[in-house]
């Protein structure tokens, strides 16, 4: 049998490598603008997509492997490989480039018939200097001028704007927009599609998470509330630091009354800042997100220390409320990019995401209470110190996170 110390060591060695993947990913946004239909046979769509989403091969294993990517060339910067879009190849093989763009993007009818297409204007931008692409007029402006306004252009800093005309369409029948681009990459868990419909369809703007591999109706509305409610639930279980804090907060409560007070304070706090952070532009500051990430790691250290020293029978709900304010900004990063940078405020999407976060936390709280109750009921001798073991491991993890995130924050302040 393993001793308690050896068990704790094995657990810590397993958990520590996960620290690099602690917090939430950043949204990958794809803009899709559908033109008003002036001809019953034609649908014109304008698309802005991150270049890696459509150019990376399906067997992509990471930059370190230095795999060949179509229409790019590799330059080494020390030990790091940089991929640059190769303008000469793109211009000389433009028909093939257009086929790759459309390989995993198409329109189909309810019967499964794919519409014929013709790719029109193409424009490639640096992500950091990209023009606005949130309505039809802006889309035409963004695609005007030379194909390559920036040269050389690094692949992972590039976005591609292009227009496609589909023929054989009729908006009186169901038309589905389908995209499987990037479906095999984990990054598509954070892909958010901002779709702008023509006014004649009476839908307006919709935000839809995911790859659109199952298709989305262009001429009927589905609920963005449901889409983002589901995304909110999934979001909870991808933030290891937030989950660890919830575990520690639950452990610190010796009574159900104290548990409900802390949970209520924490929930109110993060609902306020999630809403605020999703709708304000201050998150653009390079220092803000790293600062919040660092603060979240420090809240974990604080709560782990509370569990190690004593359970927080004297804890006040206001402390949980204040910590909730910090974590709420962490949740808001994804929605902020969607709302502020792309389409403006969408109440249904925000409400769905917010309630999805709460539903995910309810599931997590419920599971933790059952697990902790079972551990107490078993009354194994070695379990008497299990709370302190969790606290010690959490302190180790939080210190790693604090160091990592401080190293990210410091350069933004200099």
Beta bridge partners of 124: 160
341: tokens are: 């940078």
pLDDT for residue 165: 92
Residue scoring higher pLDDT (100 or 228)? 100
- Mark whether 74 and 150 lie in a shared domain: yes
Q: Is residue 90 part of a domain?
A: yes
- Total count of domains within the chain: 2
- Mark whether 12 and 116 lie in a shared domain: no
* Residues 32 and 177: beta-carbon distance below 8 Å: yes
pLDDT for residue 222: 56
Q: Is residue 233 part of a domain?
A: no
pLDDT range class, residue 282, cuts 50, 70, 90: low
Mean pLDDT of the chain: 80
pLDDT for residue 48: 93
- Mark whether 103 and 246 lie in a shared domain: no
- Mark whether 179 and 267 lie in a shared domain: no
Mean local confidence (pLDDT), 357-385: 78
Percent of the chain with pLDDT over 70: 80
Q: Is residue 251 part of a domain?
A: yes
Any idea which residue has 């992500």 for tokens?
A: 127
Q: Is residue 361 part of a domain?
A: yes
Q: Give the C-alpha separation, 185 to 182, whole Å.
A: 5
pLDDT range class, residue 7, cuts 50, 70, 90: very low
> pLDDT, tens digit, for every residue of 131-155?
888 888 889 999 998 888 777 889 9
Q: Is residue 227 part of a domain?
A: no
331: tokens are: 């949740």
Mean local confidence (pLDDT), 270-294: 79
Q: Give the C-alpha separation, 262 to 318, whole Å.
A: 8
- Mark whether 17 and 34 lie in a shared domain: no
pLDDT for residue 308: 84
Q: Is residue 231 part of a domain?
A: no
> pLDDT, tens digit, for every residue of 97-111?
999 989 889 998 888
Domain that holds residue 285: 4-25+238-413
pLDDT for residue 37: 65
> pLDDT, tens digit, for every residue of 40-49?
678 899 999 9
Residue scoring higher pLDDT (201 or 108)? 108
Residue 2: pLDDT over 60: no
- Mark whether 140 and 21 lie in a shared domain: no
Q: Give the C-alpha separation, 224 to 195, whole Å.
A: 11
pTM (whole model) above 0.75:
no
Q: Is residue 228 part of a domain?
A: no
Q: Is residue 229 part of a domain?
A: no
- Mark whether 140 and 275 lie in a shared domain: no
> pLDDT, tens digit, for every residue of 310-360?
655 445 678 889 999 999 888 787 777 666 555 555 677 788 888 888 898
Domain boundary among the residues 178, 193, 222 is at 222
Separation of CA 104 from chain center = 21
Residue scoring higher pLDDT (171 or 278)? 278
Mean local confidence (pLDDT), 383-389: 71
- Mark whether 66 and 126 lie in a shared domain: yes
- Mark whether 140 and 258 lie in a shared domain: no
pLDDT for residue 4: 47
pLDDT for residue 24: 42
- Mark whether 200 and 280 lie in a shared domain: no
Region of poorest pLDDT, from 161-165, 196-200, 254-258, 264-268? 196-200
Residue 369: pLDDT over 50: yes
Percent of the chain with pLDDT over 90: 19
Tell the burial category of 342 from Cβ atoms under 10 Å away from its Cβ (0-12, 13-18, 19+): buried
Whether the ω angle into residue 152 lies within 30 degrees of 0, i.e. cis, is yes
* Residues 225 and 283: beta-carbon distance below 8 Å: no
102: tokens are: 């459309």
Question: Radius of gyration over alpha carbons of the chain, in Å?
Answer: 24
């Amino acid at each position: 049998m393993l001793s308690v110390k050896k068990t704790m060591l094995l657990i810590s060695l397993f958990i520590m490598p996960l620290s690099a993947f602690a917090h939430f990913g950043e949204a990958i946004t794809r803009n899709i603008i559908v033109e008003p239909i002036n001809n019953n046979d034609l649908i014109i769509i304008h698309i802005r997509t991150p270049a890696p989403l459509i150019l990376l091969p399906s067997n992509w294993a990471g930059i370190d492997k230095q795999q060949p990517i179509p229409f790019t060339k590799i330059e080494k910067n020390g030990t790091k490989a940089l991929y640059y879009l190769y303008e000469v190849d793109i211009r000389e093989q433009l028909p093939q480039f257009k086929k790759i763009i459309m390989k995993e993007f198409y329109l189909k009818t309810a019967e499964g018939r794919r519409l014929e297409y013709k790719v029109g204007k193409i424009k490639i931008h640096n992500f950091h200097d990209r023009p606005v692409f949130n309505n039809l007029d802006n889309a035409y402006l963004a695609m005007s001028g030379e194909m390559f306004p920036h040269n050389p252009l690094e692949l992972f800093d590039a976005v591609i704007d292009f227009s496609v005309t589909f023929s054989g369409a009729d908006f009186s029948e169901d038309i589905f927009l389908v995209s499987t681009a990037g479906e095999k990459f984990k990054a598509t868990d954070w892909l958010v599609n901002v779709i702008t419909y023509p006014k004649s369809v009476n839908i307006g703007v919709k935000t839809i998470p995911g790859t659109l591999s199952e298709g989305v109706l262009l001429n009927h509305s589905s609920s963005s509330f449901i889409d983002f409610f589901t995304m909110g639930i999934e979001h909870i279980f991808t933030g290891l630091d937030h989950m660890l804090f919830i575990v520690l907060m639950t452990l610190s409560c010796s009574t159900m009354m104290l548990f409900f007070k802390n949970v209520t304070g924490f929930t109110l706090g993060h609902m306020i800042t999630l809403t605020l952070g999703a709708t304000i532009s201050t998150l653009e500051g390079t220092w803000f997100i790293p600062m919040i990430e660092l603060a979240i790691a420090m809240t974990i250290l604080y709560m782990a220390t509370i569990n190690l020293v004593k359970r927080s029978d004297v804890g006040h709900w206001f402390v949980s409320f204040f910590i909730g304010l910090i974590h709420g900004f962490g949740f808001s990063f994804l929605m902020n990019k969607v709302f502020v940078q792309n389409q403006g405020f969408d109440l249904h999407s925000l409400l769905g995401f917010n309630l999805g976060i709460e539903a995910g936390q309810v599931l997590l709280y419920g599971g933790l209470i059952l697990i902790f109750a079972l551990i107490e009921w078993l009354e194994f001798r070695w379990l008497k110190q299990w709370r302190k073991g969790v606290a010690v491991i959490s302190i180790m993890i939080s210190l790693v996170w604090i160091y990592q995130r401080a190293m990210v924050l410091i350069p933004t302040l200099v």
